[in-house]
Homo-oligomer: A and B are copies of this chain.
């Protein structure tokens, strides 16, 4: 296969190249950049590979060889350029946000400008592989989900489908992203000395991925819902630590326990990767009591670093009737490049785990 990576100067584009270099079926990777950057100086972890930046026109000229194009571009690029590739039978996986809403008005509200290809929106398949595999297999155009959203939706869907939550109150989601999530353009706030002993909250008045979250969680719940969504960058480079708290529906509180929540999750995903290879539910039992600080009964961001895994854990505050889910991913892998490749694998009938089998560090 020959694969285009449009906008490969950022962390996500670099990560796509890194993973694709180990893909057994991919023999050509064509990364593009606008400026005059040197691929291997920018992505020095890939030093010695034979990748070089091309221009966007370069890969258009080689279109007949291309099987699929990934867009890792800022908002607006993919929707203007996807049609050109789709018309030529080249599949498109958009890792940006251009095709995540089926309604162009919602896109306009959230991103502030009209959608350039509204006719494609109904054809775009939202790419949470585990929840949507059949449609992805047939899709020409994938809207790859946002890193926060996929991390949340994987944890919450089993509970929303089972209707365990009281959705008259907002869901509460607090997520901490690594600083790669802030991009690789130098800014004072994300310099090393500024973040090192700190955490950086942002977009507290309403993050752009809030509506994406609400839209796709509502679809799983089968009803409207609101999300109180809170984001920050933490003192780590990669990874999302996402906690989702939901009030248990009054009719479900009787007999609710941590164990029941974990059982629901393992019923849905399997426990040892036998149902869903990339989803692992942490069911380690708690030995001590309150304040026993058994950290390993919850998932750890570090455990999924560098991998396409999503680890999910849970607990239950019985006193207040609140289920707490913890979901961790690598924001650049399962949160972006990895799930994009997972979708590519499904679209092309390949082994779904190709290029993605590495366990976390």
Partner-B contacts on A (CB < 8 A): 11, 18, 21-22, 38, 41, 44-50, 112, 169-170, 172, 174, 176, 178-180, 182, 184, 186-208, 210, 226-228, 230, 232-239, 241, 243, 245, 258, 271-273, 280, 282, 284, 286, 289-296, 298-307, 311, 315-320, 322, 324, 326, 357-361
Contact = CB atoms under 8 A, between A and B. Distances in A.
A46 to B, nearest CB: 6
B182 A293 contact: yes
Contacts of A294: 202
Contacts of A272: 48-50
Contacts of A318: 205-206
Nearest to A257: B205
A195 B192 contact: yes
A213 B49 CA distance: 31
A45 B359 contact: yes
A358 B359 contact: no
16 contacts: A45-B303, A172-B172, A176-B234, A179-B193, A194-B300, A197-B236, A198-B236, A198-B302, A201-B241, A203-B290, A205-B315, A208-B290, A226-B320, A230-B245, A235-B235, A358-B358
Given A192-B191, A204-B317, A359-B21, A44 B282 contact: yes
B188 A184 contact: yes
Contacts of A226: 320
A336 B308 CA distance: 24
Contacts of A286: 205
A358 B241 CA distance: 24
A297 B282 CA distance: 37
Contacts of A188: 184, 186
